[in-house]
């Protein structure tokens, strides 16, 4: 069957992940053929570093694809079938503040969890809404596949503020964990795993996992996780785990698992269940943002500049990992009606039976041309239900705070987070974050 060619715009063209997605798109021309590939960013200088290299890559490997990088929304969003979004409003320098401010007060400092995630959410909401509006204006039939974090808060905001938008919020963490799980249970690839999972973004649990023949993978997996977490023999091939902070997170899953051995956890739960450990092991002067600036950002940009100067990418080190694989696979499922099963962040509406309908949950969905259809995960136990309801309330309060420009609501959100010990600590963090975010947040009253 001849597949209809697609037009894609990558929003956040200057992202450290863009070149990897381009590699994946080019490698998948048989499954997801492109007629056009565009980059959009509001920072021309940053985007052009990545664009100059990707132009060379496209010319060399798939010259039939029309390639364009622009900061003009009309040019970017006109005639597209998919918007692949991964913007970081405020950049890595604001991520650094999200991480360092809470740590000053002995609280988890993290990109998406705790007060740092809330601060980032307040910046991200208008950025992502703006992208939706561009898409709806210039290509009303397109789908937006959104990685922009904090995905949980962004998903709640888009549900409320643009309820009819064709946006799907996604996360690569379950896919990255399943890559290690495949190694642990002896499967070739994570795509062979059929799973049942429920929760929120960066806040969920697996209940079942089988291979495609229906063989239960869980007993062997649990035996391993109880001893080593998700650290596995194949880790040296996983670029994510080259970095020691990620390795620590994968190992810590052992302790996250211990508190409920009836399920298998997402690694992000460590921030909520072991915040004291996380803070004790953090360096308040050198956080993950610093690590990313010194490693991923530097390496990707240096490689892009090398390609642009050499005018060839023949020997490039840029790789398309599971992050790129997931978003391209999702676009393919929507375009070509594959009915694949994928974890997406969607409105609950009964998927978790004993949770409010309007919570944004992460559950397996069947994806086709019609969009996504969430699968029913049934009722969940007290432990997870209690944690999830608390976290849903935090996420909703952040969006309330944004919409109502309410200091009070954001203070409540920070106070309610399981990562924050008291209302007074929450207030201190909030006050310092307001100072740091004057350029980005609405003025709160």
Of the residues 268, 271, 272, 372, only one is catalytic, namely 268
CA angle 293, 297, 303 (to 5 degrees): 145
Q: What is the DSSP letter of 114?
A: H
Nearest distance, CB of residue 199 and ligand G6P, angstroms: 13
CA distances from residue 273 to 113, 268, 344, 386 in whole angstroms, order as listed: 12, 9, 24, 13
Q: What proportions of the chain, in percent to the nearest 5, are helix, strand and coil?
A: 50, 15, 30
Positions in the binding site for ligand G6P (CB under 6 A): 111-112, 149, 171-173, 176, 288, 292
Is 239 a binding residue for ligand NAD by CB under 6 A? The answer is: no
Pairing outcome for strands 194-200 and 34-40: unpaired
Give which of ligand G6P, ligand NAD, Mn ion, none residue 148 binds (C-beta under 5 to 8 Å, depending on kind): ligand NAD
Please tell me the total number of residues recorded for the chain in this structure. 445
Total of residues contacting ligand NAD (CB under 6 A): 27
| DSSP one-letter string for 182-247 | HHHHT-S-GGG-EEEEEEETTEEEEEEEE-TT--B-HHHHHHHHHHHTT--GGGGG-GGGGSHHHH
x/- mask, ligand NAD, residues 128-167, rule CB under 6 A, reads -------------------xxx-x----------------
Q: Given the complex with ligand NAD, which of 25 and 218 has the nearer CB atom?
A: 25
Q: Given the complex with ligand G6P, which of 279 and 426 has the nearer CB atom?
A: 279
- Binding residue per annotation — 437? no
Question: Which residues, in sequence order, are CB contacts of 69 under 8 Å at separation 6+?
Answer: 13, 38, 39, 40, 41, 47, 48, 51, 54, 55
The token pair at 82 is 């998919």
From candidates 88, 166, 178, 409, binder to ligand NAD by CB under 6 A:
88
Return the residue nearest ligand G6P (CB atom).
173
Is 89 a binding residue for ligand NAD by CB under 6 A? The answer is: yes
From candidates 31, 43, 242, 319, binder to ligand NAD by CB under 6 A:
43
β-bridge partners, 143: 82
From candidates 8, 9, 10, 16, binder to ligand NAD by CB under 6 A:
16
Q: Given the complex with ligand G6P, which of 170 and 334 has the nearer CB atom?
A: 170
Nearest distance, CB of residue 121 and ligand NAD, angstroms: 11
Is 73 a binding residue for ligand NAD by CB under 6 A? The answer is: no
| DSSP one-letter string for 295-326 | IIIHHHHHHHHHHHHHT--TT------HHHHH
Nearest distance, CB of residue 121 and ligand G6P, angstroms: 13
- Binding residue per annotation — 224? no
Positions annotated as catalytic residues are: 172, 268
Which residues line the annotated binding site for substrate? 95, 149, 288
């Amino acid at each position: 069957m001849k597949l209809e060619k697609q037009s894609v715009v990558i929003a956040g063209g200057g992202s450290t992940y863009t070149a990897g997605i381009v590699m994946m798109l080019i490698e998948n021309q048989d499954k997801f053929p492109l007629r056009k590939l565009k980059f959009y960013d509001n920072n021309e200088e940053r985007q052009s570093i990545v664009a100059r290299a990707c132009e060379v890559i496209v010319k060399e490997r798939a010259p039939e694809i029309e390639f364009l990088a622009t900061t003009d929304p009309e040019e970017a969003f006109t005639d597209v079938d998919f918007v692949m979004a991964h913007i970081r409003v405020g950049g890595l320098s604001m991520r650094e503040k999200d991480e360092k401010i809470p740590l000053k007060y002995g609280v988890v400092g993290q990109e998406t969890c705790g007060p740092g995630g809330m601060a980032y959410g307040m910046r991200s909401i208008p950025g992502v809404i703006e992208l939706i509006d561009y898409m709806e204006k210039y290509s009303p039939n397109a789908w937006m596949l959104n990685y922009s974090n904090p995905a949980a808060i962004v998903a709640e905001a888009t549900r409320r503020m643009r309820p009819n938008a064709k946006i799907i919020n996604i996360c690569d963490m379950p896919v990255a964990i399943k890559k290690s799980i495949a190694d642990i249970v002896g499967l070739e690839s994570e795509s062979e795993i059929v799973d049942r999972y429920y929760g929120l973004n960066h806040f969920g649990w697996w209940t079942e996992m089988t291979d495609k023949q229906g063989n239960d993978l869980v007993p062997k997996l649990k035996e391993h996780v109880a001893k080593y977490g998700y650290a596995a023999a194949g880790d040296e091939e996983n670029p994510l785990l080259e970095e020691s902070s990620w390795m620590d997170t994968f190992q810590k899953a052992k302790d996250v698992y211990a508190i409920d051995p009836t399920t298998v956890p997402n690694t992000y739960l460590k921030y909520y269940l072991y915040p004291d450990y996380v803070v004790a092991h953090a360096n308040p002067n050198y956080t993950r943002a610093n690590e990313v600036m010194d490693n991923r950002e530097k390496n990707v940009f240096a490689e892009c500049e090398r390609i642009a100067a050499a005018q060839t990418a023949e020997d490039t080190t840029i790789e398309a990992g599971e992050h790129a694989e997931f978003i391209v696979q999702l676009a393919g499922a929507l375009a070509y009606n594959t009915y694949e099963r994928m974890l997406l962040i969607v409105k609950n509406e009964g998927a978790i039976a004993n949770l409010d309908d309007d919570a944004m949950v992460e559950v397996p969905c069947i994806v086709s041309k019609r969009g996504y259809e969430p699968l029913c995960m049934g009722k969940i136990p007290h432990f997870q239900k209690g944690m999830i309801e608390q976290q849903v309330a935090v996420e909703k309060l952040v969006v309330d705070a944004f919409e109502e420009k309410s200091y009070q609501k954001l203070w409540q959100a920070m106070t309610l987070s399981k990562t924050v010990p008291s209302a007074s600590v929450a207030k201190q963090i909030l006050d310092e974050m307001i100072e740091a975010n004057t350029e980005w947040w609405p003025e709160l009253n």
